[in-house]
A and B are shown apart, each in its own frame.
Chain A
Amino acid sequence: MDNKEIFNRIFPTACRYMRVNPLKVDTEFNEKAFAVFGELCENVRFKGLHEFISVSDFLNIDVKLTSVSEDLKFYLEGCTDMVIFATTLGVDVDAHSKKIQSKDMGTAVIYDALASALLEYYTDEYEDGLNLGEHTFRFAPGYGDIPIRLNYIIIDALSISKKIGIFKSSNNMMLPQKSMITMCGLGKKSVPTCTHCVRLNSCSLRKENLRCYNS
C-alpha cells in the first residue's frame, strides 16, 4: 500500500481527532494534510512486539492492580490465553512534532492527529498479520476501569523498553507519545461498546451518533 492509500485510510480518523467532519473537508485542506502526512512518514520508525500469555499469568502480573478491574475480568471472561501488543511510531515523531509546534501550530495539530491515526492503523495491520483466529477486540489499560498503571508493569515485565523503545514516564504515561500497549483475549469474539467508557455521558461523538472505534 502506498502513502496515498494509507493516508486515505487514516484521514477520516485523523479528522475526527481534529474535530473536523471529514465530509466537509475541502481539497485544499486534504492536500495540506497529505503534505503533512509525507513529513510524518519521514519520521516514523514503527516498531511492534507481541507476547502470548495465559490469562492467569497476566492476572497475576500484579494482582493488586488486575483484581480491582471488573472490566478486565469481563473482557477476558471465557479466554484462557491472550496476546499483549506494544506498538510505537518512535521518538523521531515526537521530536519533529515539537519542531513543527515551534514553527506552525496549525500544521502541528494536523501532524499530531495523523500520527495518532497512523499508529492505530499500523497496530491493526500488525494484529491482522498474526492471524489470531477468534479473539476479542483490542483494549488497553486506561479503558474502562482497567488501571493505567498496568502499562508500567507490562513495560517492565515484557522488557518493552529494551526491545522496542517504549518507556514509562512519571504518572505511567508512555513515551514516545505515539505508543500503545493493548491486548485482546483469544478464542472468543467480542466487539467494543461504549458501556464501560468513562466518557459515556459526556462524549461529544456519541452526541453526534458517532463512535470512536468506528472510523
Chain B
Amino acid sequence: MLQLLGKKTLFFDGGMGTQLQAKGLSVGAIPEELNIDKPELIVSIHEDYLNAGADFITTNTFGANAHKMSRAKYPNTDMIKAAVENADKARKKVGRENDSYIALDIGPIGELLAPIGTLSFDDAYELFKEQIVCVKDEIDVIIFETFGDLYELKAGVLAAKENCDKPVFVSVSFDKTQRTLTGTNPETYINVMEGLKVDAIGVNCSLGPKELEPVIMTLLEKSHLPVLIQPNAGLPTLKDGQTIFELTPGDFIDALSNVLDKGIAVIGGCCGTTPDFIRMEKKNFPVEVKKRDVPYRTAVSSSTTTVYLDESVRVCGERLNPTGKKKLQAALREENYDMLISEAIAQEDAGAHVLDVNVGLPGIDEAAVMKKIIPMLQEVVSIPLQIDSSNPAAIEAACRVYNGKPLINSVNGKDAVMEAVFPVAVKYGGVVIGLALSEEVPKVCDERVEIAKKIIEKAKGYGIGMKDLVIDCLTLTVSAQQAEAAETLKALKVITDMGLSSTLGVSNISFGLPNRPLVNRTFLTLAMQCGLKMPIINPLDRALMDCIDAFNVIYNVDKGCEKYIKNQENVVVQTVTVAKTDAKSGASQASAGNVKDVGFCIMKGLKDEITSVTVEELEKKDPMVLINETIIPALNKVGRDYDSGKIFLPQLIQAAETAKVAFAEVQKHFTVSGEKKGPMIICTVEGDIHDIGKNIVKVVCESYGYEIIDLGKDVPVDSVVDAYKEYKPKAIGLSALMTTTVENMKRTIRALRANDCDVPILVGGAVLTEEIAKEIDADYYTEDAMSMVNLLKELNI
C-alpha cells in the first residue's frame, strides 16, 4: 500500500455512525457492541463501501478505548478483535482480500490530557497501546481520526510506532476558525506530525468540503506527506427532530472542485456520507496524484504556535537556566516551580518567540524534573520550548512529554554526543542545535564551519535534513579571546550562505568587561547583520530587544515600521503617563491625607510600585520595624476591611500579593533570617482540577508569612500522605469544589489519620459546609482564605 500511497488516488469508506443510525442505532447505544451482537450488520456496511470502490475499510472501533467502553457489556479488546474480523469477512465476501486494506480506527479517548485535563500522557499512551496491540497483526494501517488535541494524538502516534510496524495515518478536525478544539492551527499540526513521521496527514469531520477548503489547501501547500481528507456531507441541519446532512453526493463533489486535482492522495467521507459518496469520488477524482513541490523550512512548534527560524530574527529567552542564579537553583532543588513559571510568562510577555529550558544542577534528577516542568510551562506559555541539556536521558524525557515540535539544545561535533542525541531527535521529530565545538575549542572561522559540516553529515546519516538543524557558531568571551569574536561573525556569514539557520548565546561575549550591555548590543547587531536568526538573550533586556526592532526596520522586515513605532511610542507614552500618574496620584493622596508608603501600597494593592517604595523606606527604617509597624498592620487592616465588607475578594488578594512582594524585598535586608510560620501543606484533592480557591488561600497565607507547600491539584491520596511524612507540616489544608470529590477528601483524611497524622486538617471549597467537614472527619472548616488565616493564628501555627 505504501507503494501506491501518494501516487495513485486511494479511497477510504464513508460514515459508519450514519449507516448504523439509519439502521436503528438508538441514542446512547454503544456502536462497538454491534461488532459482537450484530456482526452481519457491520459486515454488510463494509461490503457496501467495498462495492462502492473503497480501498480502505475502517473498523467499527472509533470509541473502543477502555475508558469510553467502561459501560459496554464486552471488554473493549474483544470488540476490537470482532471488528477486525468483520472487516476481514467483508473483504473476503466481495473478493477483495488482496486489493483492499483494513484500517484500525482509533478516535479520541474522550478526556482531555493533563495539564488542562486529568488524564496523564502516559495513561493515554497505554490506552492507545491496548487498542493496537490486540490486533496489530491483522490490520493493514492505523488511522487516528477526528482528533482535536494534538497532545493526545502524539500519545497515540507514539503508541502505534512503538508497538506496531503498520503505517500510521492521522486526521484531525478543524473548526471554521481553522483551529482544532485545543487551538492548533494547520501549520503546527503539519510540523509536529511530520516530525513524528506519520505516513499520511489529513482532516476529517466537523465541517463539509467547502468549509474545509482553506485547511485542505494549507495541507497541500505546506505538508510533504500524502494528504488525506474525509469531510462531512456538509453541515448538519435539523429536520423533523432528526439531524440530517445537507449535501448529496453530487453536491459533495462540486464542493471539492477547487481541490480535486491539487494532489489529494486519499479521499473518503465522514458524518453523513454513504457508499454513493464514495462511488461519486471514485468517478471524479484523478487516478494519479498530482505531485506537489513543497519547500522545507526550519520550524519549531508548541501546540498552538509555529516559529520559523529561517526568516526574520526570532528571540530565544535564556532565563530558565539555573547557571549562576542562586534563587532558581534553590527553587529547583525544593521543587518549587512557581519561579520558573513566572519567569516563563515574563519572557513570553516581553516578546520571546522560543524559551530555553535548562534544569541541570548537580545532584538533581534532570530527566524527572524535565518531565514535570515541561507540561507545567506549556500550560502557561504558548511559544515553543528549547530543551537544553547535556544529558540525553533528560532530552528524551522532555521531548516525549513535549506538546509540539521541540528545539533540542544541543549536540556538538563529538561523535558520542551526536550518537546519543540524534536518535531522540529522529524519534520525536525535533530541530537540533549543532554547536560548532568539538574536542578542541575552535579558534578560526574555518574550524567552526568544518565542525558544522561534520554535524550536518552525521545528521544526514540519521535522516535529519539540514532544515532540521540550527548551527551555534559559538560565542567566546571577547575579554579573554578577543580575536575570536570576529571569527564567530565570519562563521555566521558562511553558515547563513550555506542555507542554514543559526543561533548564538549573545551575552557570553561581554563577560568580564565593564558596561556589558553596550558590548552585547553591538555584538548582537553585528551578528544579525551576518545572518544570525535566533539570538539567545534575556528578552526582558529592553535595550537588546530594541536593537532587534531597529534592525528589522532597517532591513525592511518590519513593514511600515509598525512594530518599531508601536514599541518606541509606548516607551515615550509610558514615560509621560508615569509622570502624569505620579502627579495626579500625588495630588489625590495629598488631598486624602495619605502618604504613598508601604502600608498605603499594600492597602491599595499597588504591586508594580511596592518594590521601589519598600527599598526607599528600608533606607530609613530597620527591616523588622517595617514589618511590624507597617506591613503587618496594613495587612490586618485589609483583613478587617474584607471581613466587614468594605473591600472585596479581588482587592484582598491584590493586597496580599503586594505584601508578598514587600516581604520578599525586606527579606533581602535581614541579617538574621526571618522566621517563617508553618509550614503548611495545601492541595486540591484527587480527581478535582479546580484550583483557583486553593491558589487564593496560598497567596493570602503567604502574605501573612506562612510557608505554604503547594502540592497542586488532583493530588492522589498517597501523595498527600507522602508529603505529610516528608515535610512534617504544622497543618494540612484540603480543597474540593465538587460533591463528587468530597469523597476523595474523606479518603485523604482517612489515609492521613491511618498514618498517625496529628496536625490539624483544614478543609474548604465551594461545596463544603461545617456539617460536611465534621462528617468527613476534618478538624476544621474554613469558609475563605481570610478565615483560614484567622484560624491559623488562633491555632498558633
Binding site for B on A (CB under 8 A): 18-21, 24-25, 29, 32, 45, 47, 51-53, 57, 60-62, 90-92, 94-95, 97-99, 101-110, 112, 142, 148-149, 153, 155-158, 161-165, 167-173, 175-177, 198-199, 202
* Contact pick for B649, options A24, A102, A109, A170, CB 8 Å: A109
Most buried by A among B380, B645, B738: B380
Asked if A104 and B607 make an inter-chain contact with CB atoms under 8 angstroms apart, the answer reads yes
Asked if A53 and B27 make an inter-chain contact with CB atoms under 8 angstroms apart, the answer reads yes
B687 at the interface (CB under 8 A from A): yes
* Contact pick for B695, options A101, A153, A177, CB 8 Å: A101
Interface string of B179-200 (1 = CB under 8 A from A): 1011100000000000000000
Interfacial chain B residues near A20, Cβ < 8 Å: 648-650
Q: Name which of B113-121, B501-509, B522-530 contacts chain A.
A: B113-121
Asked if A167 and B338 make an inter-chain contact with CB atoms under 8 angstroms apart, the answer reads no
B148 at the interface (CB under 8 A from A): yes
Q: How far is the CA of A106 from the CA of B656 in the complex (A)?
A: 9
Q: How far is the CA of A46 from the CA of B238 in the complex (A)?
A: 21
Task: Return the chain A residue nearest B783 by Cβ.
Answer: A204
Interfacial chain B residues near A163, Cβ < 8 Å: 206
Asked if B110 and A110 make an inter-chain contact with CB atoms under 8 angstroms apart, the answer reads no
- In addition to A162-B107, A175-B117, 11 A-B residue pairs with Cβ atoms within 8 Å of each other are A45-B175, A62-B28, A90-B181, A91-B181, A97-B692, A104-B607, A149-B740, A167-B117, A170-B111, A173-B118, A175-B111
Which of B649-674 touch A at CB < 8 Å?
649-654, 656-657
B159 at the interface (CB under 8 A from A): no
Interfacial chain B residues near A107, Cβ < 8 Å: 650
Say yes or no: A61-B28 contact (C-beta < 8 A), given A18-B650, A148-B738, A171-B741: yes
Interfacial chain B residues near A18, Cβ < 8 Å: 648-650
Interfacial chain B residues near A158, Cβ < 8 Å: 27
Q: How far is the CA of A127 from the CA of B146 in the complex (A)?
A: 28
* Contact pick for B379, options A52, A95, A170, CB 8 Å: A95
The 6 A-B residue pairs with the shortest CB-CB distance, nearest first, are A165-B181, A106-B654, A171-B687, A157-B28, A106-B653, A20-B648
- Of the A-B pairs whose beta carbons lie under 8 Å apart in the complex, a sample of 24, sorted by A's number, is A18-B650, A19-B648, A20-B649, A45-B177, A52-B238, A52-B241, A57-B26, A57-B28, A91-B183, A95-B380, A95-B382, A104-B657, A108-B692, A112-B692, A148-B739, A149-B740, A157-B28, A162-B107, A162-B206, A168-B110, A168-B111, A169-B111, A171-B688, A175-B116
Interfacial chain B residues near A101, Cβ < 8 Å: 692, 695
Say yes or no: A167-B183 contact (C-beta < 8 A), given A29-B648, A94-B116, A153-B28: no
B205 at the interface (CB under 8 A from A): yes
Interfacial chain A residues near B68, Cβ < 8 Å: 156
Asked if A109 and B111 make an inter-chain contact with CB atoms under 8 angstroms apart, the answer reads no
Q: How far is the CA of A157 from the CA of B118 in the complex (A)?
A: 21
Asked if A177 and B689 make an inter-chain contact with CB atoms under 8 angstroms apart, the answer reads yes
Asked if B379 and A162 make an inter-chain contact with CB atoms under 8 angstroms apart, the answer reads no
Asked if B769 and A106 make an inter-chain contact with CB atoms under 8 angstroms apart, the answer reads no
Interfacial chain B residues near A105, Cβ < 8 Å: 653, 656-657, 695-696, 699
Asked if A109 and B653 make an inter-chain contact with CB atoms under 8 angstroms apart, the answer reads yes
Q: How far is the CA of A175 from the CA of B379 in the complex (A)?
A: 15
B347 at the interface (CB under 8 A from A): no
B599 at the interface (CB under 8 A from A): no
Say yes or no: A61-B649 contact (C-beta < 8 A), given A167-B110, A167-B112: no
Asked if A108 and B688 make an inter-chain contact with CB atoms under 8 angstroms apart, the answer reads no
B341 at the interface (CB under 8 A from A): yes
Task: Return the chain B residue nearest A107 by Cβ.
Answer: B650
Q: How far is the CA of A61 from the CA of B338 in the complex (A)?
A: 45
Q: How far is the CA of A125 from the CA of B62 in the complex (A)?
A: 34
Asked if A109 and B696 make an inter-chain contact with CB atoms under 8 angstroms apart, the answer reads yes
Task: Return the chain B residue nearest A163 by Cβ.
Answer: B206
Asked if B345 and A99 make an inter-chain contact with CB atoms under 8 angstroms apart, the answer reads yes
Interface string of B90-128 (1 = CB under 8 A from A): 000000000000000001101110011111000000000
Task: Report A12 CB to chain B, min CB distance, Å.
Answer: 14
Q: How far is the CA of A61 from the CA of B243 in the complex (A)?
A: 18
Asked if B380 and A102 make an inter-chain contact with CB atoms under 8 angstroms apart, the answer reads yes
Asked if A157 and B649 make an inter-chain contact with CB atoms under 8 angstroms apart, the answer reads no
Asked if A29 and B657 make an inter-chain contact with CB atoms under 8 angstroms apart, the answer reads no
Say yes or no: A103-B653 contact (C-beta < 8 A), given A175-B689, A202-B769: no
* Contact pick for A161, options B108, B654, B738, CB 8 Å: B108
Interfacial chain A residues near B652, Cβ < 8 Å: 106
B581 at the interface (CB under 8 A from A): no
Task: Report A192 CB to chain B, min CB distance, Å.
Answer: 19
Interface string of B322-345 (1 = CB under 8 A from A): 000000000000000010011001
Interfacial chain B residues near A104, Cβ < 8 Å: 607, 654, 657
Q: How far is the CA of A52 from the CA of B27 in the complex (A)?
A: 11
B728 at the interface (CB under 8 A from A): no
Task: Report A24 CB to chain B, min CB distance, Å.
Answer: 8
Task: Report A13 CB to chain B, min CB distance, Å.
Answer: 15
Asked if B27 and A91 make an inter-chain contact with CB atoms under 8 angstroms apart, the answer reads no
Which of B348-381 touch A at CB < 8 Å?
379-381
Interfacial chain A residues near B26, Cβ < 8 Å: 57
B605 at the interface (CB under 8 A from A): yes
Asked if A102 and B341 make an inter-chain contact with CB atoms under 8 angstroms apart, the answer reads yes
Which of B197-220 touch A at CB < 8 Å?
205-206
Say yes or no: A99-B380 contact (C-beta < 8 A), given A61-B27, A104-B607, A156-B68: yes
* Contact pick for B117, options A148, A157, A169, A199, CB 8 Å: A169
Interfacial chain B residues near A24, Cβ < 8 Å: 645
B690 at the interface (CB under 8 A from A): yes
Interfacial chain A residues near B107, Cβ < 8 Å: 162
Task: Return the chain B residue nearest A202 by Cβ.
Answer: B769
Asked if B689 and A98 make an inter-chain contact with CB atoms under 8 angstroms apart, the answer reads no
Q: How far is the CA of A62 from the CA of B607 in the complex (A)?
A: 52
Asked if B738 and A171 make an inter-chain contact with CB atoms under 8 angstroms apart, the answer reads yes
Task: Report A93 CB to chain B, min CB distance, Å.
Answer: 11
Which of B624-649 touch A at CB < 8 Å?
645, 648-649
* Contact pick for B692, options A47, A103, A109, A167, CB 8 Å: A109
Asked if B28 and A162 make an inter-chain contact with CB atoms under 8 angstroms apart, the answer reads no
B131 at the interface (CB under 8 A from A): no
Asked if A162 and B739 make an inter-chain contact with CB atoms under 8 angstroms apart, the answer reads no
Asked if B651 and A102 make an inter-chain contact with CB atoms under 8 angstroms apart, the answer reads no
Q: How far is the CA of A142 from the CA of B68 in the complex (A)?
A: 21
Say yes or no: A173-B688 contact (C-beta < 8 A), given A21-B645, A157-B27, A168-B111: yes
Task: Return the chain B residue nearest A164 by Cβ.
Answer: B181
Task: Report B481 CB to chain A, min CB distance, Å.
Answer: 40
* Contact pick for B690, options A60, A162, A177, CB 8 Å: A177
Task: Return the chain A residue nearest B349 by Cβ.
Answer: A103
Say yes or no: A173-B738 contact (C-beta < 8 A), given A97-B692, A102-B380, A167-B111: yes
Asked if B116 and A173 make an inter-chain contact with CB atoms under 8 angstroms apart, the answer reads no
Interface string of B212-238 (1 = CB under 8 A from A): 000000000000000000000000001
Say yes or no: A175-B112 contact (C-beta < 8 A), given A18-B649, A61-B27, A99-B345: yes
Most buried by A among B116, B238, B379: B116
Q: How far is the CA of A52 from the CA of B254 in the complex (A)?
A: 32
B173 at the interface (CB under 8 A from A): yes
Interfacial chain B residues near A109, Cβ < 8 Å: 649-650, 653, 692, 696
Interfacial chain B residues near A175, Cβ < 8 Å: 111-112, 116-117, 689
Interfacial chain B residues near A173, Cβ < 8 Å: 118, 687-690, 738, 740
Q: How far is the CA of A174 from the CA of B461 in the complex (A)?
A: 47
Task: Return the chain B residue nearest A161 by Cβ.
Answer: B110
Interfacial chain B residues near A45, Cβ < 8 Å: 175, 177, 179
Q: How far is the CA of A162 from the CA of B31 in the complex (A)?
A: 15
Interfacial chain B residues near A97, Cβ < 8 Å: 692
Interfacial chain B residues near A155, Cβ < 8 Å: 110
Interfacial chain B residues near A92, Cβ < 8 Å: 183
Interfacial chain B residues near A177, Cβ < 8 Å: 689-690
* Contact pick for A103, options B71, B118, B179, B345, CB 8 Å: B345
Task: Report B742 CB to chain A, min CB distance, Å.
Answer: 10
Q: How far is the CA of A102 from the CA of B175 in the complex (A)?
A: 30
